[in-house]
């Protein structure tokens, strides 16, 4: 099932800087690299500095020549180079002709992150840094790499860097040596030529084109999307040669564009032959073993969206003398996916399913996700069930976890449940009369759980997601904001309750597993938000930083025009939620214990949690019922910290792929609307200009400073606004504006607007 725990999903997919920024202009591509100043490439210098860094001490001339395998005829060149490095204060030497790196000139390893305009940044990983999103250009602290200091490095390359300071003490870096190339295969658009063609990379941070001889074009047609394998990057040559290994097709097709995103983001999309063979041999074994509870008489139902593609959870609620009994039954994926098998290894490498509007890249093959592990109505299915007892106020009294077998009775949708419970639709209530009481109980329990969770300080971000409607003609008919109703909240509360109970049980019984953690926010960002919110007229208390404080702010703006903007800005202060074996709690949910248990079909961490829970259940069972499960590893790696980092990364890659595809489709939708006007709200302000969100459609775009007529505007960083130097006119976050669509750049996923007229600020309406 998709989009279960919204709070946690938003924290995981939080865009850097809160409001999405559009990227800068791409420089000329086809065969012209005159915009990139070329640094002289000296391979010997690179090797020499690498040697000094590796040895970390004094080296004689003989030592250097031996280590670098230099002949006597190269001695003079080496001495000249050493003298040059001495003048540049990179290397020092003693009277005995012993050389070493100068003090303060230690070299570091890092990754190059390019900007489309030709410069870059050095991403130097430090402890814990890998979990944080990169800051945007202009407010980042990563060392700057000028174009002339890039040598032969490109975006994503792992490099050896020399750090230095320039101007006002700003730290910069120079690429000394490329240690590992990031790009071996690139997605791009093929431009055919007589003898050879060019492939222009889709990623505009890859500032080169790939030269492809006609015999290596794989039959690609001009303008087609392709995957090209890159040959060697030769010194002094920015454009490498390559060969096309896959022709994706016409990029005007949404399906082809989806394939482009899959290849570009490196999403594993083909299962190994061993996995295919293993899955073909799976059987529908529904034997009721002693360790499995028979819950087929419990009235389980599934509740999902109309377009849901997998059904991995079913719920049931009974009334008890003390309150409620909740059953959360999850497909028992661990029964079919045994550790360290080909299927398990493939699932781990994927980490998560990735959902696109017209395609799914599943974590597990369809035989599992759409059949054996899909809780379809009127079919027995193997499950893992959390049985939770609550009093009438939603306080958990007890918990039990067991492997089980269930039979779902109904496949319900959020819309139907809302119409039955909220709208009191007579026809639907007649059709589902057997569900009226169970649904009423579910609504009562969910309300109690939500009230208790909010009382403890759980933060309820209300940020909609885009819903893109695509017709059979491959045309986009609408880009709407997703809507949530009572049924969404019911399922969300039940999943949250199960996740917390499972995490608590595993923690208290010292079972190693992955927790879903969310650390406290950056206090500097919280204070920055507080200052800005007060400038908007919000009466915010000074006791900043607690979950309760965040909740009060959200309640303050709930239902107002400010709500969307404030939710986004608050989200900007948050850290990312991630996976870790160290349980430090979940700040956003104000939960001491939290993990992911409810979707092992599409998330590998959930599968690991199921295995740990099975081990706990086996340990507590009588010896006659003991299973081998307890001794099984939780993942293909014994290092849970490494697994948590890897799976957090896979999640981020999936989020970025989903976001990119959404931006592509939003640009497609707007492409034929040039010149039309729209109502919008200013969602962000920067030195570049304004960022706006349309009110009619879920579309964001930019208004560059050059499109703001009538004055010269300056960026007021402290108050997040633009101020006219002569007129004093102000554009700030929250202003209602009318914008005109100026242009759309589909390949760069940029939507550009111009201001038609300024409307009153939201604070005044």
In whole angstroms, what separates CA 81 from the centre of its chain? 45
The CA distance from 636 to 658, in Å, is 26
| Per-residue model confidence (pLDDT) at position 166 | 76
Other beta carbons within 10 angstroms of residue 632's beta carbon come to: 16
Q: How many CB atoms lie within 10 A of CB 554?
A: 17
Measured in degrees and rounded to the nearest 5, phi and psi for residue 7 equal: -55, -50
Cβ(611)–Cβ(632) under 8 Å? Answer: yes
Looking at the DSSP bridge assignments, the partners of residue 731 are 722
pLDDT band at 465 (very low <50, low <70, confident <90, very high): confident
Cα-based distances in Å from 293 to 117, 324, 360, 405: 62, 20, 33, 6
pLDDT tens-digit readout, 233-263: 776 677 889 999 999 999 999 999 999 999 9
Beta strands 107-114; 721-724: pairing state: unpaired
User: How many other C-beta atoms can be found within 10 angstroms of the C-beta atom of residue 369?
Assistant: 22
Q: Report the range out of 26-35, 193-202, 427-436 with the highest average pLDDT.
A: 427-436
Give the homologous superfamily in CATH for domain 671-764.
Nucleic acid-binding proteins (2.40.50.140)
pLDDT value of residue 461: 78
Q: Are 553 and 487 spatial neighbours (Cβ–Cβ below 8 Å)?
A: no
* Number of CB atoms found within 10 A of residue 128's CB: 9
User: Identical fold at 107-180 and 671-764?
Assistant: yes
pLDDT of 232 over the 80 cut: no
Q: Is the pLDDT of residue 24 over 50?
A: no
pLDDT value at residue 227: 97
Supply the pLDDT for residue 5: 56
Q: How confident is the model at residue 541 (pLDDT cuts 50, 70, 90)?
A: confident
Nearest CA among 401, 392, 432, 435 for reference residue 327: 401
With bands split at pLDDT 50, 70 and 90, how would you rate the model's confidence at 464?
confident
pLDDT of residue 443: 97
Q: Where are the domains of the chain?
A: 6-15+272-519+576-661, 43-101, 107-180, 185-251, 523-573, 671-764
CA atoms of 601 and 585, how far apart (whole Å): 24
| CA separation for the pair 412, 445 (Å, rounded) | 18
Mean pLDDT to the nearest integer, 276-285: 93
**Phi and psi torsions of 90, nearest 5°:** -95, -30
What pLDDT digit, counting tens, does each position of 311-336 carry?
A: 899 999 999 999 999 999 999 999 99
Q: What is the pLDDT of residue 542?
A: 67
For the residues 296-322, what does the mean pLDDT come to? 93
Tens of pLDDT along 191-226? Answer: 998 889 999 999 888 888 999 999 999 999 999 999
Buried b (16+ CB within 10 A) or exposed e, 74-86: eeeebeebbeebe
Tell me the whole-structure pTM to 2 decimals.
0.84
Taking CA atoms, 286 is separated from 134, 313, 383, 446, in Å, by 48, 18, 10, 32
Answer whether residue 719 shows pLDDT above 60. yes
Secondary structure, 3-state, 276-306: HHHHHCCCCCCCCCCCEEECCCCCCEEEECC
Dihedral sign of CA atoms 449, 452, 458, 462 in order: positive
Q: Provide the 8-state DSSP code for 702.
A: E
pLDDT of residue 529: 83
CATH number of 107-180: 2.40.50.140
318-348: b or e for each residue (b if 16 or more CB lie within 10 Å)? eeeeebbbbbbbbbbbbbbbebeebbbbbbb
Domain 43-101 is in which class?
Answer: mainly alpha
Q: What is the mean pLDDT of residues 138-167?
A: 82
- Quickly state the pLDDT bin for 126 (edges 50, 70, 90): low
Distance CA 205, CA 26 (A): 8
Residues 578 and 12: their CA atoms lie apart, in Å, by 7
pLDDT digits (tens, 9 = 90+) for 576-607: 999 999 999 999 999 999 999 999 999 999 99
Q: Enumerate residues 6+ apart whose C-beta is below 8 A from 725.
A: 711, 712, 713, 714
Q: Which helix (H) or strand (E) holds 419?
A: helix 414-421
- Determine the average pLDDT of the residues in 602-629: 80
Domain 185-251 classification at class level? mainly beta
Structure tokens at 175: 């690429």
679 SS3 class? strand
Q: How many residues does the chain have?
A: 765
Q: Which residue has the higher pLDDT, 1 or 169?
A: 169
Tens of pLDDT, residues 676-692: 999 998 888 998 999 99
User: Is the model's pLDDT at 661 over the cut of 60?
Assistant: yes
From residue 342, how far is each of 502, 512, 599, 631 by CA, in Å? Answer: 28, 23, 21, 19
Q: What pLDDT, on a 0 to 100 scale, did the predictor assign at position 6?
A: 57
What is the per-residue pLDDT across 391-417, written as a single tens digit (0 to 9) for each?
999 999 999 999 999 999 999 999 999
Nearest alpha carbon to residue 721 among 708, 707, 733: 733
Cα 624 from chain centroid?
45
């Amino acid at each position: 099932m998709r989009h279960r725990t919204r709070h946690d999903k938003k924290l995981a997919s939080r865009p850097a800087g809160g409001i999405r920024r559009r990227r800068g202009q791409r420089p000329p591509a086809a065969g012209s690299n005159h915009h990139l100043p070329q640094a002289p490439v000296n391979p010997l210098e690179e090797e020499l500095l690498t040697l000094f860094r590796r040895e970390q001490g004094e080296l004689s001339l003989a030592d250097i020549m031996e280590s670098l395998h230099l002949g006597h005829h190269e001695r003079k060149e080496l001495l000249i180079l050493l003298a040059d490095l001495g003048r540049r204060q990179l290397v020092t030497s003693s009277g005995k002709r012993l050389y070493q790196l100068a003090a303060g000139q230690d070299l570091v390893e890092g990754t190059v992150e390019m900007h489309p305009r030709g410069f870059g940044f050095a991403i130097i990983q430090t402890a814990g840094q890998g979990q944080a999103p990169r800051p945007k250009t202009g407010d980042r602290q990563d060392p700057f790499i000028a174009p002339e200091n890039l040598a032969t490095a490109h975006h994503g390359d792992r490099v050896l860097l020399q750090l230095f300071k320039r101007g006002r003490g700003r730290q910069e870096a120079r690429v000394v040596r490329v240690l590992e190339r990031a790009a071996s295969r690139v997605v791009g658009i093929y431009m055919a030529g007589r003898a050879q063609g060019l492939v222009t990379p889709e990623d505009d941070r890859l500032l080169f084109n790939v030269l492809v001889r006609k015999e290596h074009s794989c039959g690609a047609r001009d303008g087609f999307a392709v995957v090209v394998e890159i040959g060697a990057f030769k010194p002094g040559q920015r454009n490498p040669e390559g060969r096309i290994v896959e022709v994706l097709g016409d990029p005007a097709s949404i399906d082809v564009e989806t394939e482009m995103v899959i290849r570009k983001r490196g999403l594993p999309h083909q299962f190994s032959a061993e996995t295919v063979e293993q899955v073909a041999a799976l059987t529908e074994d529904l034997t009721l073993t002693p360790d499995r509870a028979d819950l087929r008489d419990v009235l389980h139902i599934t509740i999902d969206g109309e377009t849901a593609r997998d059904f991995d959870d079913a719920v049931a609620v009974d009334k008890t003398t003390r309150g409620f009994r909740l059953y959360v039954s999850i497909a028992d994926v661990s029964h079919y996916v045994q550790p360290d098998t080909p299927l398990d290894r493939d699932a781990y490498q994927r980490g998560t399913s990735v959902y696109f509007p017209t395609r799914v890249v599943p974590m597990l093959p369809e035989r599992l996700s759409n059949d054996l592990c899909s809780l379809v109505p009127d079919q027995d299915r193997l499950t893992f069930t959390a049985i939770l007892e609550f009093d009438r106020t939603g306080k958990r009294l007890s918990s039990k976890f067991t492997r089980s077998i269930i039979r779902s009775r109904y496949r319900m949708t959020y819309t139907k449940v809302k119409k039955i419970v909220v709208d009191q639709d007579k026809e639907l209530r007649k059709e589902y009369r057997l569900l009226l009481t169970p649904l009423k109980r579910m609504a009562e329990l969910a309300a109690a759980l939500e009230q208790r969770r909010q009382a403890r300080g759980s933060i309820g971000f209300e940020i909609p997601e885009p819903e893109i409607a695509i017709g059979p003609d491959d045309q986009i008919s609408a880009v709407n904001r997703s809507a949530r109703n009572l049924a969404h909240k019911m399922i969300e509360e039940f999943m949250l309750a199960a996740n917390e109970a499972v995490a608590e049980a595993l923690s208290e019984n010292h079972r190693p597993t992955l927790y879903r953690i969310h650390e406290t926010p950056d206090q500097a960002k919280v204070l920055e938000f507080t200052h800005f919110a007060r400038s908007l007229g919000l009466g915010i208390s000074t006791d900043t930083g607690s979950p309760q404080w965040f909740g009060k702010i959200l309640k303050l703006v709930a239902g107002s025009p400010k709500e969307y903007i404030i939710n986004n800005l608050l989200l900007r202060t948050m850290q990312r939620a991630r996976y870790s074996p160290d349980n430090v709690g979940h700040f956003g949910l104000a939960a001491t214990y939290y993990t992911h248990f409810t979707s092992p079909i599409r998330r590998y961490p959930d599968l690991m949690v199921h295995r740990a829970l099975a081990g706990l259940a086996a340990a507590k069972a009588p010896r006659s019922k003991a299973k081998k499960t307890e001794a099984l590893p939780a993942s293909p790696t014994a290092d849970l910290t490494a697994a948590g980092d890897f799976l957090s990364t896979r999640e981020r890659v999936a989020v970025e792929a989903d976001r990119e595809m959404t931006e592509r489709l939003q640009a497609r939708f707007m492409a034929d609307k040039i010149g039309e006007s729209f109502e919008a709200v200013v969602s962000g302000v920067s030195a570049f200009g304004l960022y706006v969100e349309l009110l009619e459609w879920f579309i964001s775009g930019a208004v560059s400073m050059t499109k703001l007529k009538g004055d010269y505007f300056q960026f007021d960083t402290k108050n997040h606004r633009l101020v006219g130097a002569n007129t004093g006119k102000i554009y700030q976050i929250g202003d209602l504006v009318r914008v005109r669509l100026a242009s759309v750049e589909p390949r760069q996923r940029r939507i550009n607007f111009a201001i038609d007229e300024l409307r009153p600020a939201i604070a005044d309406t």
